[in-house]
């Protein structure tokens, strides 16, 4: 019978650490992951944070069409567990330019929050980006 021993250790990362203290901080940091495609198709990103709300990584979760993208909560949970993140900021764009969240956006946020709660990971905000504006779930009391 074979025995496998696993060790838990922190991997060093060259990822830039930045403290996220507000929706504006999150919006500015996340916006750098988008290119000219911001107004072309919808993409969903995850910003991963440590206990001090400093960035430890990010992940592009999905890329869809002009009116939506599929978000798999299991993939989000995997990134949270792999990085031992204590908090996250969710982000996606609306190519239409409409910053208001849809009912599907609100339902997805609630579902992700409930899942990550199982791992003691907080969803601090969900940012919706447009070319020249953004909407923060936190600033608009939609993170409950």
The pTM for the full model equals: 0.90
Q: Is 86 a member of any domain?
A: yes
Q: Is 11 a member of any domain?
A: no
* Domain limits for position 108: 23-136
Say which range, 14-18, 68-72, 95-99, 114-118, has the weakest mean pLDDT: 14-18
Q: Is 4 a member of any domain?
A: no
pLDDT (tens digit per residue) in 55-110: 999 999 999 999 999 999 999 999 999 999 999 999 999 999 999 999 999 999 99
- Angle formed at CA 52 by CA 50 and CA 58, multiple of 5 degrees: 35
CA distance 126 to 105: 9
Name the average pLDDT for the chain.
92
Q: Is 115 a member of any domain?
A: yes
pLDDT computed for residue 143 by the predictor: 87
Q: Is 116 a member of any domain?
A: yes
Q: Is 12 a member of any domain?
A: no
- The CATH number of the domain holding residue 56 is 3.40.140.10
């Amino acid at each position: 019978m074979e025995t496998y021993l696993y060790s838990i250790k922190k991997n060093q990362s060259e990822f830039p650490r930045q403290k996220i203290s507000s929706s504006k901080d999150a919006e500015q940091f996340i916006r750098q992951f988008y290119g000219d495609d911001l107004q072309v198709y919808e993409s969903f990103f995850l910003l991963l944070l440590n206990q001090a709300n400093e960035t430890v990584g990010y992940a592009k979760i999905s890329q869809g069409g002009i009116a939506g993208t599929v978000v798999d909560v299991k993939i989000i949970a995997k990134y949270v567990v792999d990085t031992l993140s204590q908090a996250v900021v969710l982000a996606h764009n609306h190519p239409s330019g409409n910053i208001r969240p849809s009912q599907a956006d609100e339902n997805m946020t609630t579902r992700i929050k409930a899942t990550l709660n199982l791992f003691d990971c907080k969803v601090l905000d969900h940012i919706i980006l447009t070319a020249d504006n953004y909407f923060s779930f936190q600033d608009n009391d939609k993170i409950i």
